[in-house]
Amino acid sequence: MLVITVPSRALDANCYIVAPAPQSPAIIIDPGLGTVDAVAEVVEHHDLQVRAVIASHGHLDHIYDAPQMCARFNVPLWIHHADRHLLTDPWAGVDGDLRRMLEPAFAGKAWLEPDRVQEITDGVSSVGALMGVGLDVVFRHAPGHTGGSILIDVAGAPGEHSTLLTSPQDDLSNFVQCSRTVFTGDVLFAGTIGRTDFPVSSPEAMATSLEMIRTELVADSAILSGHGPASILEREFAANPWLAARS
């Protein structure tokens, strides 16, 4: 599988391009600020055909370029229904301190939905065939950081030609044997989890989502999060304090 990481210019968010291989259909995950041109270069270089843009959740650092990205490739944005309102009212998703820090930088920004929005439902849904992307793609609703946070669980491992943001002790070879690749947004990071103190957050829902991760995901999954380096779920079970106490 081809996985290319494109860094965003807002809060170091990770945008991902995912495809079975070069010269194949592709999906784009989390179109953050300043990612459109870089993604377009990757798409052209690998001769990809973009089928969908997906938001792991509705926070502005993950959806800033969604309208432009969707327009560039003439595809819909997939977002969970509970976070759709954040496309046009992003400040509803953050606390007052973060809003005061970020709002001046985004003065004059018109917060609009893409022309086509496909709402993601609760629970678990298999969507690879529906998107026509040639991958086994499963959405897992994982609320907590936001009400509409999802995990994007894809069969296969990052392979040749992939580029990942890794820790100093890692490189691509540490991930090529994984059986699945899970794009966790801001639910799960290497060594920690996403914040649950925003207006759209719920610590109780996060606890349920973490239990789902413990019991439903396979331990040899590559974990590609919304910020920071890649990890492997088995490592998180051993070292992440939020997951280490497995029930």
- 205-234: average pLDDT: 97
- CATH number, domain with residue 141: 3.60.15.10
Decide if pLDDT at 175 tops 60.
yes
Model pLDDT, residue 245: 59
Q: Is residue 246 part of a domain?
A: no
Q: Is the dihedral of CA 225, 230, 235, 238 positive or negative?
A: negative
Report yes or no: 6 and 30 within 8 Å, Cβ to Cβ: no
Q: Is residue 150 part of a domain?
A: yes
In the chain, the N- to C-terminal Cα span, in Å, equals 32
Measured CA to CA in angstroms, residue 8 lies from 13, 39, 67, 143, 238 at distances of: 5, 11, 15, 23, 30
- The SS3 of residue 93 is helix
Model pLDDT, residue 247: 44
Report yes or no: 195 and 145 within 8 Å, Cβ to Cβ: yes
In the structure, what pLDDT confidence band is assigned to residue 192 with cuts at 50, 70 and 90? very high
- 112-134: average pLDDT: 95
- 74-102: average pLDDT: 96
Decide if pLDDT at 246 tops 60.
no
Decide if pLDDT at 125 tops 80.
yes
Q: Is residue 176 part of a domain?
A: yes
How would you classify residue 184: left for phi > 0, otherwise alpha for psi between -120 and 50, otherwise beta? alpha
Q: Is residue 244 part of a domain?
A: no
Q: Tell me how many domains the chain contains.
A: 1
Instruction: Specify the length of the chain in residues.
Output: 247
Q: Is residue 211 part of a domain?
A: yes
- 219-227: average pLDDT: 98
More confident residue, 105 or 233: 233
pLDDT (tens digit per residue) in 147-173: 999 999 999 999 989 999 999 999 999
Model pLDDT, residue 163: 96
pLDDT (tens digit per residue) in 13-53: 999 999 999 999 999 999 999 999 999 999 999 999 999 99
Report CA 236 to chain centroid distance, whole Å.
18
Of 175, 181, 63, 58, the closest CA to residue 128 belongs to 181
Q: Is residue 90 part of a domain?
A: yes
- For the chain, give the percent of residues with pLDDT over 90: 91
Q: Is residue 247 part of a domain?
A: no
Place of tokens 């999954």: 221
Average pLDDT, the chain: 95
Of 233, 244, 222, 227, the closest CA to residue 59 belongs to 227
- 86-111: average pLDDT: 91
- For the chain, give the percent of residues with pLDDT over 70: 99
Q: Is residue 245 part of a domain?
A: no
Structural domain that includes position 168? 2-239
